[in-house]
């Protein structure tokens, strides 16, 4: 089996996690995480590059040590150092990393301070209230850990949509080519574009005699067949993902697709409404007095109930049915609406491409502008820039802009919000920027009151424009910090500030709930990639999915505006 870029990246991330448990050098750990990010989005397959004897060190930020690790994975299937660490580190400590709220740093501190080595140790410490003595473990975090442990969340691990979606799409594309397959679509939470998913659901309509099910259970990437049948089978892939395939007759495909797309709450609400009208809706079709009246097309479900078609991203029973009955659902934002990217890093801080390379890549995507937002001095681990280096980069931008036609690089910076709410650059530099993107990068453990006060003070700075990744979450790695988002949204409206939807796969921050809250309050959103390489610019598609789940329309997102209109919006 070919080793995919995703497989290589996952091993490097796991190695970084275990090294962090060992309290290894943070720069070494960061190097592995950065390499994983580069590899995941790299356009060429590293497996093929190694086999061709290409020099991997020619790739920015891939040095000799990382090159050897990547080659080792391709040639042997695993990093020997990772294998050694897995033997040395208690297995339950590794399992704890899957519990919400417990990243490598927190697991290590519990291990060092409270000598927690097993899940039983953790459960006992929670019951005795011992974890409260560890700095940074507040009531909300402890409750999150308690819930995760009680619900055995470490056994039902959810994966990032970004990791699962390409696997599902490749498998679906392959299965569509099987003989006598009429239609085949991905369903479930992937189709609704939830930020994390548990498994892959595929619905297929086949004509009689199709070998689809046999091809499915004998696929080259199958590790184990969980169950096998003529209309439903379930497999575990070699990468650990579970895939469920359901086969229906062509006339039932629309009803089945709608049913297995979900969500459960959305479907229950629809069916209750249908029953009141004497209609029965299920995965086999739509019926009135036992007479079949539809089900071949998914839209039949909504048309028969005399409502507007509801896009999959909205099907969460969060008010979409009432809007559909009034035919007043939002016209959701689309990829082609984006005119620029407002959060991009270059080699001036921790990016992997030069200013010119990022600009050229953005132009290839059809953008009209980008904002270069390299880090500032407080974030030393990301090579943050002091005042002098920021000014030097602004001069570089001016020189490059003079050579560009119908494209503009906006002068910006991702400025650290310091603990007291001040910004990491003086006014003399801030006033030279086209826009200021402010972000919290440290002291995540402040109380809700302190964290909110810190951010509100930063937003009051007259040069502040966009609040980046507002809740600070890292999906599966770090819970959001304690902050009063209602107060943040209210202040953003009053001050004319913009909230960012950061499309980096680990973040997707704002989440869909806060996106809708911002929209309802009349607060505009910046949909940005947080790109650290030219390939990361494509992260914007993740943000589009999240924005659609949050009911956002083109008008709600500032970087759908032409540049001249966007500049006017920045004037506070």
Per-residue pLDDT tens over the stretch 269-304:
999 999 999 999 999 999 998 899 999 999 999 999
Q: What pLDDT band is residue 572 in, cutting at 50, 70 and 90?
A: low
CA 234-238-240 angle, to 5 degrees, is 70
Distance CA 68, CA 478 (A): 30
The tokens for 442 are: 């440290």
Average pLDDT of the chain to the nearest whole number: 92
Range of lowest pLDDT (145-149, 468-472, 561-565): 145-149
Domains and CATH numbers, the chain: 5-150 (1.10.150.110), 159-248 (3.30.460.10), 264-325 (3.30.210.10), 335-570 (3.20.20.140)
Distance of CA 493 to the CA centre of its chain: 26
Q: Distance between CA atoms of 566 and 561, rounded to whole angstroms?
A: 6
* Residue 189 reports pLDDT greater than 70: yes
Find tokens 């579970």 and name the residue: 242
pTM of the model: 0.86
- What's the confidence (pLDDT) of residue 105? 87
Q: What is the pLDDT of residue 68?
A: 92
CA dist 373 to 242, 390, 494, 506, 529, Å? 39, 10, 25, 19, 11
Per-residue pLDDT band at 148 (split at 50, 70, 90): confident
- Angular region, 47: left φ>0, alpha ψ -120 to 50, beta rest: alpha
Whether residue 144 is predicted with pLDDT greater than 90 in this model: the reply is no
Q: What is the pLDDT of residue 59?
A: 85
The predicted pLDDT at position 155 comes to 66
Predicted local distance difference test score (pLDDT) of residue 101: 82
How many Å apart are CA 189 and CA 244, to the nearest integer? 13
d(CA 171, CA 216): 9
pLDDT of residue 483: 94
Region 367-379 average pLDDT: 95
pLDDT at residue 324 is higher than 70? yes
Looking at per-residue pLDDT, the higher value among 456 and 97 belongs to 456
In which band, very low, low, confident or very high, does the pLDDT at 153 lie, cut at 50, 70 and 90?
A: low
Kindly state the average pLDDT of the residues 335-363.
95
Residue 156 predicted with pLDDT over 70:
no
Among 46-55, 76-85, 396-405, 476-485, which range has the highest average pLDDT? 396-405
Average pLDDT over residues 66-83: 90
SS3 351: coil
For 499-528, what is each residue's pLDDT tens digit?
999 999 989 999 999 999 999 999 999 999
- Across the range 70-98, mean pLDDT stands at 88
Pair of tokens at residue 99 = 């519990």
pLDDT tens track for 18-35: 998 888 888 888 889 888
What per-residue confidence (pLDDT) applies to 154?
67
CA distance linking residue 497 with residue 518, whole number of Å: 11
């Amino acid at each position: 089996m070919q080793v995919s870029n995703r497989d290589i990246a996952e091993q490097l991330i796991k190695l970084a996690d275990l090294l962090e448990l060992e309290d290894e050098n943070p720069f070494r750990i960061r190097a592995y995480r950065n390499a994983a990010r580069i590899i995941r989005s790299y356009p060429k397959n590293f497996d093929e590059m190694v086999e061709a004897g290409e020099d991997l060190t020619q790739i920015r930020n891939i040095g000799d040590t990382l090159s050897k690790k990547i080659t080792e994975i391709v040639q042997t299937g695993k990093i020997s150092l990772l294998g050694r660490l897995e033997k040395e580190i208690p297995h339950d400590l590794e399992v704890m990393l899957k519990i919400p709220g417990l990243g490598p740093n927190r697991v290590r501190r519990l291990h060092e301070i409270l000598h927690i080595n097993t899940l039983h140790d953790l459960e006992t410490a929670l019951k005795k209230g011992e974890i409260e003595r560890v700095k940074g473990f507040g009531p909300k975090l402890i409750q999150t850990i308690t819930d995760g442990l009680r619900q055995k969340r470490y056994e039902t691990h959810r994966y990032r949509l970004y990791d699962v979606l390409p696997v599902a799409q490749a498998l679906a594309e392959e299965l569509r080519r099987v003989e006598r397959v009429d239609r085949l679509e991905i369903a479930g939470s992937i189709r609704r574009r939830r930020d994390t998913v548990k498994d892959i659901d595929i619905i297929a309509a086949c004509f009689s005699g199709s070998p689809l099910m046999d091809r499915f259970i004998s696929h080259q990437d199958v590790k184990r067949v969980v169950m096998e049948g003529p209309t439903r089978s379930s497999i575990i892939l070699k990468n650990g993902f579970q895939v469920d395939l359901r086969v229906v007759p062509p006339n039932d495909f629309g009803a089945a697709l709608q049913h297995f797309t979900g969500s459960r709450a959305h479907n229950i609400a629809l069916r209750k409404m249908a029953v009141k009208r004497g209609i029965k809706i299920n995965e086999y079709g739509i019926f009135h007095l036992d007479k079949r009246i539809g089900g071949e097309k998914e839209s039949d479900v909504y048309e028969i109930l005399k409502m507007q078609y509801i896009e999959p991203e909205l099907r969460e029973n969060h008010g979409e049915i009432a809007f559909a009955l009034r035919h007043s659902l939002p016209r959701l934002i689309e990829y082609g609406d984006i005119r620029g990217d407002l959060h991009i890093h270059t080699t001036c801080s921790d990016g992997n491409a030069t200013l010119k390379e990022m600009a050229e890549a953005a132009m290839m995507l059809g953008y009209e502008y980008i904002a270069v937002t390299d880090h500032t001095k407080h974030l030393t681990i990301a090579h943050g820039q002091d005042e002098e280096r920021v000014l030097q980069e602004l001069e570089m931008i001016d020189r490059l802009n003079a050579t560009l036609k119908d494209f503009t690089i906006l002068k910006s910076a991702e400025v650290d919000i310091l603990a007291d709410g001040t910004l990491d650059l003086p006014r003399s530099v801030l006033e030279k920027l086209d826009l200021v993107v402010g972000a919290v990068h440290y002291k995540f453990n402040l109380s809700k009151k302190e964290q909110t006060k810190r951010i509100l003070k930063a937003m009051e700075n007259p040069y502040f424009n966009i609040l980046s990744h507002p809740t600070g979450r890292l999906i599966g790695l770090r819970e959001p910090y304690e902050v009063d988002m209602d107060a943040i949204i209210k202040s953003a409206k009053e001050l004319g500030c913009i909230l960012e939807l950061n499309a980096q796969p680990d973040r997707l921050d704002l989440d869909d709930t806060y996106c809708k809250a911002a929209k309802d309050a009349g607060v505009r959103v910046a949909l940005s990639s947080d790109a650290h390489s030219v390939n990361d610019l494509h992260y914007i598609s993740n943000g589009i999915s999240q924005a659609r789940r949050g009911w956002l329309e083109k008008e709600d997102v500032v970087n759908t505006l032409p540049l001249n209109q966007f500049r006017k919006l920045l004037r506070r």
